[in-house]
Amino acid sequence: RLLLVHGAWCFTRTSELILYTFMHNCSYVFVIFYHQLFNGFSGAATLHSLYILLYSSLFTVLPQCAAALFDQHVPAKRALHEPQLYKYTLHARCYRMWSYWINIIDAIWQSTVIFFIAYYAYANNGNIDASVFGFSIAFSMTITSMIHVILQTTRIDIALISSILLSFLVFLGFTLIFDATCVVCLNGQSPYYISYVAFRQGIFWLTNLFTIIIALLPRFFIKCIYNSTMNPLSRTNQQHNISSLTQDTHV
């Protein structure tokens, strides 16, 4: 059991965490890079410095931990009854070089969508300043990252859903409290009432809705195609006439 179940789970969870971390950080860096293209590489920040600090350390860390601790690419009973499934782990099929590059390309796509949809949505709006633009990007980045974990993992359970909901509440609560109390702080970067202004604007919600959907569409389609054609666990299900919702989704 230690090898066939927990060993296999540990390997796939670690692979999943590594791939997600690469994608997560790459997407974040490219958003900042795109902003530099439009400000002459002056070093001006797209996002408030505190959002930059807390994006990975607080706002999006719980879903990553939940997936890394509780994900199961195969049920325990099936792993014990079908030891040949360990070949999937033994051959490291969930972590290949092409898996890495797919995640990097996906990160570039997500960052491009997140930045440029917001940029063109707010470009000709004279009532929107850079702070609202930056907050819109921070909001879409955070929500996209949370939902991406669902597409990245294999097993959706209460722990994962709870971690996503809790992370969203932490992000929302921090934003509302911070924006209402920080009048002049952090070297003059005042976010005072920025989120309150943004939340009252229809363009903010439409921009983020389209951004999140378009950013995650390629990942969703890749998962559907992979699970129906290339997934070795799916082929095993078909060979043994097994109907299972547990699929390998580590692409």
pLDDT (tens digit per residue) in 192-210: 788 999 999 999 999 999 9
Low-confidence ranges of the chain (pLDDT < 70): 1-3, 85, 88-94, 126-127, 183-189, 230-251
* Distance separating alpha carbons of residues 49 and 185, to the nearest angstrom: 11
Residue 244 is assigned to a structural domain of this protein: no
Tally of domains in the chain = 1
Confidence (pLDDT) at 189: 63
* Distance separating alpha carbons of residues 209 and 143, to the nearest angstrom: 10
Residue 250 is assigned to a structural domain of this protein: no
Residue 247 is assigned to a structural domain of this protein: no
Residue 147 is assigned to a structural domain of this protein: yes
* CA triple 165-171-175, angle to 5 deg: 145
Residue 228 is assigned to a structural domain of this protein: yes
Confidence (pLDDT) at 155: 83
Residue 161 is assigned to a structural domain of this protein: yes
* Distance separating alpha carbons of residues 215 and 225, to the nearest angstrom: 17
For 201, the domain range is 2-239
Residue 248 is assigned to a structural domain of this protein: no
